[in-house]
Homo-oligomer: A and B are copies of this chain.
Amino acid sequence: MASIREVARLAGVSPSTVSRVMNKTANVDEDKKQKVLAAIEETGFRPNELARALFKQSSRIIGVIVPNLENPFYNELAKAVEEEAYRNGYKLLLCNSNNNTEKELMNIRMLDQMKADGIIILTYSDKTGQAVADCHLPVVAVDRQLTGSGQSAYVEADHYKGGKMAMAHLLDCGCKNIVFLRGPLELSSGLSRYRGYQEMCQKYELPEQCIDCLYDYEDGLRAAKELVKRYPQADGIIASNDMVAIASYKILIGAGYRVPEDVQIIGFDNIRFSWLITPEFTTVIQPIEKMGTLAVEIIIKHGQGLPFQQENILDVSLVERQTTRRKE
Contact = CB atoms under 8 A, between A and B. Distances in A.
B246 A48 contact: no
Interface residues of A, number: 50
Best-buried of A49, A86, A273 by chain B (most CB within 10 Å): A49
A6 interface: no
Interface in A38-83: 44, 46-51, 53-54, 59, 61, 69-70, 72, 75-76, 78-79, 82-83
A199 B186 CA distance: 57
Nearest to A103: B86
A115 B49 contact: yes
A249 interface: yes
B92 A49 contact: no
A316 interface: no
A255 interface: no
Given A82-B96, A96-B82, A276-B247, A113 B48 contact: yes
Contacts of A276: 217, 243, 246-247, 250
Contact of A92 (B47, B93, B243): B93
A277 B275 CA distance: 12
A272 interface: yes
Query: How many copies of the chain does the oligomer comprise?
Result: 2
Chain A binding surface, main DSSP class: helix
Interface in A85-128: 86, 91-96, 98, 103, 109-110, 112-115
Interface in A258-306: 272-273, 276-278
A79 B53 contact: no
A50 B53 contact: yes
A47 B109 CA distance: 10
A187 interface: no
A86 B278 CA distance: 36
Contacts of A49: 110, 113-115
Interface of A: 1, 44, 46-51, 53-54, 59, 61, 69-70, 72, 75-76, 78-79, 82-83, 86, 91-96, 98, 103, 109-110, 112-115, 134, 136, 217, 243, 246-247, 249-250, 253, 272-273, 276-278
The 6 A-B residue pairs with the shortest CB-CB distance in the complex, in nearest-first order? A69-B79, A49-B113, A50-B54, A94-B94, A75-B75, A250-B278
19 contacts: A48-B115, A49-B113, A69-B75, A69-B76, A69-B78, A72-B72, A72-B75, A78-B94, A82-B94, A83-B96, A83-B98, A86-B103, A91-B95, A93-B94, A217-B276, A246-B277, A249-B278, A250-B276, A273-B277
